[in-house]
Amino acid sequence: MKDEWIVIEVKIKGEFVDLASAILAEHGCSGTVVEECKLDTFVVPDDALNLLADYNLKVYFDAVTDPHAFISELEVAFRKIPILKNQDFSLQLGASVEIEDWAEDWKQNFSTFHVGTSLVVRPSWEDYAPLADEVVIEIDPGMAFGTGTHGTTQLCLEVIAELLHHPDPPLSMLDVGTGSGILALGAAALGCQKVVATDIDPIACRVARENVNKNHYAAQVEISGCPLEELPGQFELIVANILAEENIRLRHAFMDHLCPGGWLVLSGILQEKELLVRDGFADLPLKFFPSRYQGEWVCLVLQR
């Protein structure tokens, strides 16, 4: 099947390419090409970018009624990020294109997998017969980030599984930037009694809600589009699989929502930015536990 998409061309410095890619993904981007290098929300290009050089991003979106108004919306989203507020970048409309449906591409790289000793994650198009002590969640990420195959997601799932197998496991969890809802569903399946999953992208909220309903966890998992700063309540576990800079920006909001003795799990962080994030949280009343690594990614585990 072929659909008409629009191309938006973004010119931005290399040091902000990852951040720009994340913002674009949050607004429904279905693919980004940086000088012939494909990116997703977190994926690093094969060749290191020159941080000071200008790069041209070709960004693909489903066709919209008013592309120029949509570009203005994206520009506002860029300027809302403090680090981008005073940076030079440009967005302009490219040509409409006919592109093959990319859904089949990521399906080829997403198969059933295990987390810890009891959690099984399977895509909606695969069958799996669980063993007696296994729980299975079914995920269809659609346009949202999160199949569980990405290193950052796997690291978070592994930590969640370990914490929920503690003698005194957390009974409530806040999932910041839920995407497909995979971390929230994993926690619910492993016994977390109350999970609130937030995302500023309405598409992600829709996909996450569909996955929650499909897995019959609506009684345990609430999907919210409310900004973190406006969300009520405290939680015994907070997981944020977002960009390093966003983790730092939200550090005080995390503390406002973290119970005394509660756990904070941070990922979406490149190893080269681990120290940056550690420094950003160094002045808070948190104990650091050993970091977890997978490939170029790191997951930080802290406790209040």
Please state the domain extents for the chain: 2-101, 107-303
Position 294 pLDDT exceeds 90: no
What H or E segment, with its residue span, contains residue 4? strand 2-13
Q: Kindly give, in sequence order, each residue whose CB lies less than 8 Å from that of residue 6, ignoring residues fewer than 6 positions away.
A: 60, 61, 62, 63, 64, 67, 93, 94, 96, 97
pLDDT digits (tens, 9 = 90+) for 266-293: 998 888 899 999 999 999 999 999 999 9
Distance CA 209, CA 217 (A): 10
Q: Among 3.40.718.10, 3.40.50.150, 2.60.120.560, 3.40.50.970, name the CATH number for the domain at 107-303.
A: 3.40.50.150
Position 44 pLDDT exceeds 50: no
> In the numeric block, which tokens belong to residue 67?
């592309």
Average pLDDT, the chain: 84
Q: Write the class of the CATH domain 2-101.
A: alpha beta
Residue 2 banded pLDDT, cuts 50, 70, 90: very low
At residue 287, the pLDDT reads: 97
Question: b/e per residue, 70-107, with b = 16+ CB within 10 A?
Answer: bbeebeeebeebeebeeeebebeeeeeeeeeeeeeeeb
Question: Nearest 10 degrees: CA dihedral of 122, 123, 128, 132?
Answer: 30
Verdict on whether the full-model pTM lies above 0.75: no
